[in-house]
Structure 1
Amino acid sequence: MIELDEIDRRLVRALCADATQSAGALGRELGLSQPATWRRIRRLREAGVFGPRRRVDLDLEALGFGVMVFLGVKLATKGRVSLDDFERAVRAIPEVQTVQHVLGLFDYRLRVVAQDLPDFERILRRRIMTLPGVGNVEANVVLSEERLPGPL
């Protein structure tokens, strides 16, 4: 685990808000020189705080996905084969954005996007419910979402 000082925390928050900022711009915001900013970024990357990839934050509504649903999925049977088969099959569904293997009432938590509720019903009936081992599914439709800055 890496020890983060206040400047590191501010740097990580700034990069989370906009990873396209130059080291010079970040340095000006933090009161550091460009080389000092690059050294901190490199140290954070080498420590595994974040990876070398830059990601795009998609606007799902602009792409036609107006509905987001979190699904709790309980498998009817458990075992290494059941888990592997389920995970392999769920990865092939493009509307599934994330798959989390969890402890609790359900075995998996899925984040699913759809154009609208009829489209979600189609995805649920024809794709999710037909996956290997699916026993019980609980859906939570997202009404609104606010992204928070995280623990830093």
Structure 2
Amino acid sequence: MIDLDDIDHQLIRSLARDATQSASALGRRYGLSQPATWRRIRRLEEAGILRGRRLRLNAESLGFGVTVFLGIKLATKGRVSLEDFERAVAAIPEVQTVEHVLGLYDYRLRVVARDLPDFERVLRRRIMTLPGAGEVEANVLLSEERLPGPLGL
């Protein structure tokens, strides 16, 4: 673990809001040269604090108007490997995230679909046929009020 100073925290917050900002623009904002800013960003990446930069797509604008969170309990623990389940679920294009969790369910999935009939098709033909898939609970997303942001830095 590396020690972070106030400027590191400010860089992390700024990049969490908009990862496309240049090192020179960030440096101007925080009183650093472009090379000094770039070195700090590289140090944060090498330490594993910054893990890449992602493009966030607007699923609704692309025709995917329904988001559903699924809790999946594996039916036959031990009979099917977790790796087989994870590999199979990751191959479903409508599945946006796969999280192995502790609790009532073994996995939590974020699934997008064009509409509810499309979601039903994905659920019946793809998700319920996964190796080891057992009990499933679905929660339809109504609205998303807070997007993931920086940790309390």
TM-score w.r.t. the length of structure 1 is 0.92
Give the match for residue 22 of structure 1: 22
Structure 2 counterparts to residues 69-108 of structure 1, below 5 A: 69-79=68-78, 81-108=80-107
3-state DSSP of counterpart to 2:81: helix
The RMSD of aligned alpha carbons is 1.5
Q: Percent identity?
A: 75
Long gaps (5+) in structure 2:
none
Structure 1 runs of 4+ with >4 Å offset: none
Moved more, 101-110 or 53-62: 53-62
Using a 3 Å threshold, how does the CA distance of structure 1 residues 5 and 84 change in structure 2: closer, same or farther?
A: same
Moved more, 14-23 or 96-105: 14-23
Q: Give the drift of 1:80.
A: 6.8
- Cα distance in 2 for residues equivalent to 1:130 and 1:150: 37
Long gaps (5+) in structure 1:
none
Residue 65 in 1 paired to residue 54 in 2?
no
Give the match for residue 133 of structure 1: 132
Moved more, 79-88 or 40-49: 79-88
Deviations 1:78-110 (A, max 9, x none): 027332322121111100011111111001111
Partner amino acid for 2:86?
E
Give the match for residue 120 of structure 1: 119
